[in-house]
Structure 1
Amino acid sequence: MATPVDPLELFKNFGSCSTSGPASCHNTTAVNTCCTEYPGGLLLQTQFWDTDVAGSPDDSWTIHGLWPDNCDGTYKSSCDPSRSYKDIASLLTAQNAGSTLEYMKKYWLNNAGSSEELWEHEWSKHGTCYSTLETSCLPKNSPKGAEAVAFFETVVKLFKTLPTYTWLANAGITPSSSKTYTLSELTAALKKGSGGYTPALGCQSGNLNSISWYYNLKGSLINGEFVPINSPQSSSCPSSGIKYPPRQSSSKSY
């Protein structure tokens, strides 16, 4: 039996998609949608701060997903039900992406069900809407589901470049059962850590619980270049009194 090939390696030298041209959302002429995300060229890497999900790491946020919004803030969803793959774990394992799966088991957790259900949901709702992941864009004889495996590997790779917890901690902002923070403090810390980019923060009942980092993309999602941008959306958190609660598994109070 042939050894499975990592989809990111399989696609590394595939095609002639250039990363030197305009990024998604900045093209002014017709595009090859296998090489330019269209119309969903505004990408959000979203993260959770889970306080009550078993197994959540104490020193990291967790992955929510990578969403292709249209350049005007609208978005499509569940674009191809025929590719709503089930058993993502087995799909990753079968295509030599076991290390990605192990990472997902720690950092891509569901706060309302099994992690497998979240992975299936994120692929079905958002992953199937990437134009550069259409099966017609893949190398000939690609295994079934190769584009989904590439999606999960890309999301994990991008997430590893966005250590939200560390960037906040470097500014003295850590989970606490007593302290509160201002929105300007949080955004300043994240802007400094990311090299000058402002994300959108989400709060629920005054508790910090989500973040979205925004990008445009040059080339394909599989092997293109992510171009960070400032969030075009305002944060939903109040200007002050923001709580950053510790994990319930941690009894340490700051």
Structure 2
Amino acid sequence: MFQSAVALAAMSLLTGTNADLQTCSTNSGYSCASSSTTPTCCFNYPGGALLQTQFWDTSPSTGPSTSWTIHGLWPDNCDGTYESSCDSSRAYTNITDILQTQGRDDLLDYMDEYWVDINGDNESFWAHEWGKHGTCINTIDPDCYQGYTAQEEVGDFFEKVVDLFKGLDTYKALAAAGITPSTSKTYTLSAIQSALTEMHGASVYLGCSSGKLNQVWYFYNVQGNAIDGSYKAVKTLTNSGCPSTGIKYVPK
């Protein structure tokens, strides 16, 4: 039941957000799976793999005690390498103002709960994620919009990251496999990987610090643009940074 519910939710989330972007053919190939090296408004390149990344912060704790939190959405060059900070002219630092101007108050409220900075400076965290990663997603460049309005792509980016995150409930997927936060229990890498692979449909990157689970990255290839294109789960391009056994998953 859990897997079916997640799969249905993911399907509904990954089909589009009705952005004002140029229409893309449904016959176009998925990013990373094509020999094309030409970036277009309908083909993500060179950052053809998109990673929805999450945190489990416990020192200090961030976000709800029964949920992971958002790290970001990162374009990867299909091989584990990536470009960053691709357009300094669009490295906006007033994310809250932009979202409020666009009438995305509900999105902003959600981000304040689930996309939180470990030092309490959410605004700087969001600006960092947009400037470093969002500006490198070529299919949301201003030229890709029809009737573009200033900073339209910024709101679309944050909305898409949140939509993806809502379809990837890491806490629930682990709990369904009997993997819950504990001060005494430890878990194996294979058990954690299996639980999240079952939800996502492909293997994920798992990160640990001092043997404590604290990160997960979900990899996708995209057909069409990054906002209303079709997302397909693909296996991790990066080896997990956790030990094979004795992994701690401590409570917030």
TM-score when normalising by structure 1: 0.89
Tell me, in whole angstroms, the C-alpha distance in 2 between the residues paired with 1:55 and 1:72: 31
After TM superposition, give the deviation of residue 10 of structure 1 in Å. 4.7
Based on CA coordinates, which of the two structures has the bigger radius of gyration? 1
When the two structures are aligned, how many residues end up with a matched partner?
236
Q: Give 1:226 shift.
A: 0.9
Residue of structure 2 aligned with 1:186, choices 185, 188, 192: 192
1:86 to 93, 101, 123: 93
1:28 partner SS: coil
**C-alpha displacement at 1:52, in angstroms?**
3.4
8 Å contact from structure 1 (residues 24, 41) kept in 2: yes
- Structure 2 partner of 1:210: 215
Which residue number corresponds to residue 42 of structure 2?
35
Q: Which of residues 120, 123, 134 is equivalent to 1:127?
A: 134
| Counterpart residue number, 1:160 | 166
Contact preservation (8 Å) 1:208, 1:237? yes
What residue is the counterpart of 1:240 in the other structure? 245
Q: What secondary structure, in the 3-state scheme, does the structure 1 residue paired with 2:99 have?
A: helix
- Is 2:128 aligned against 1:111? no
Q: Deviations over 1:182-209 (max 9, x none)?
A: 1011111112223x32111000000000
- Cα distance in 2 for partners of 1:111, 1:19 equals 40
Letter of the aligned partner of 2:242 in structure 1?
C
Q: Which moved more, 1:112-121 or 1:101-110?
A: 112-121
Q: State how far apart, in whole Å, the 2-side matches of 1:100 and 1:23 are.
A: 28
Q: Quick one: structure 1 residues 210 and 17, their matched pair in 2 at CA, closer, same or farther if it must change by over 3 Å?
A: same
Cα drift, residue 214 of structure 1: 0.4
Give the Cα–Cα distance (whole angstroms) in 1 for the partners of residues 63 and 188 of structure 2: 25
Determine if contact 2:62/2:117 at 8 Å carries over to the other structure.
no
Unaligned ranges ≥5, structure 1: 1-7, 248-254
Name the CA distance, whole Å, in 2 between partners of 1:208 and 1:144: 39
Per-residue displacement from partner, 1:48-107 (whole Å, max 9, x unpaired)? 001134651011100000000112221111000100112211111110211111110111
* Equivalent residue number for residue 99 of structure 1: 106
Q: CA deviation at 1:233?
A: 1.6
Stretch deviating more after TM superposition (98-107 or 25-34)? 25-34
**CA contact under 8 A between 1:53 and 1:110: conserved in structure 2?**
no
Give RMSD over aligned pairs.
1.5
Task: In structure 2, give the amino acid aligned to 1:36.
Answer: F
Residue identity matched to 1:229: V
3-state SS of 1:213 partner: strand
Please say if residues 186 and 248 of structure 2, whose CA atoms lie closer than 8 Å, have aligned partners that are also in contact.
yes
Q: What amino acid maps onto 1:126 in structure 2?
A: H
Shift of 1:24: 0.4
Distance 1:231 1:15 in 2: 29
Deviation at residue 18 of structure 1 after TM alignment = 2.0
Change (3 A) 1:10 1:73: closer
CA–CA separation in structure 2 for the residues paired with 1:52 and 1:105:
18
Structure 1 pair 172/219, CA: closer, same or farther in 2 (3 Å)?
same
- Aligned mates of 1:18, 1:49 — CA distance in 2: 38
Structure 2 unaligned residues grouped into runs of 5+: 1-16
Q: Equivalents in 2 of 1:225, 1:98: separation in Å?
A: 26
Distance 1:192 1:227 in 2: 14
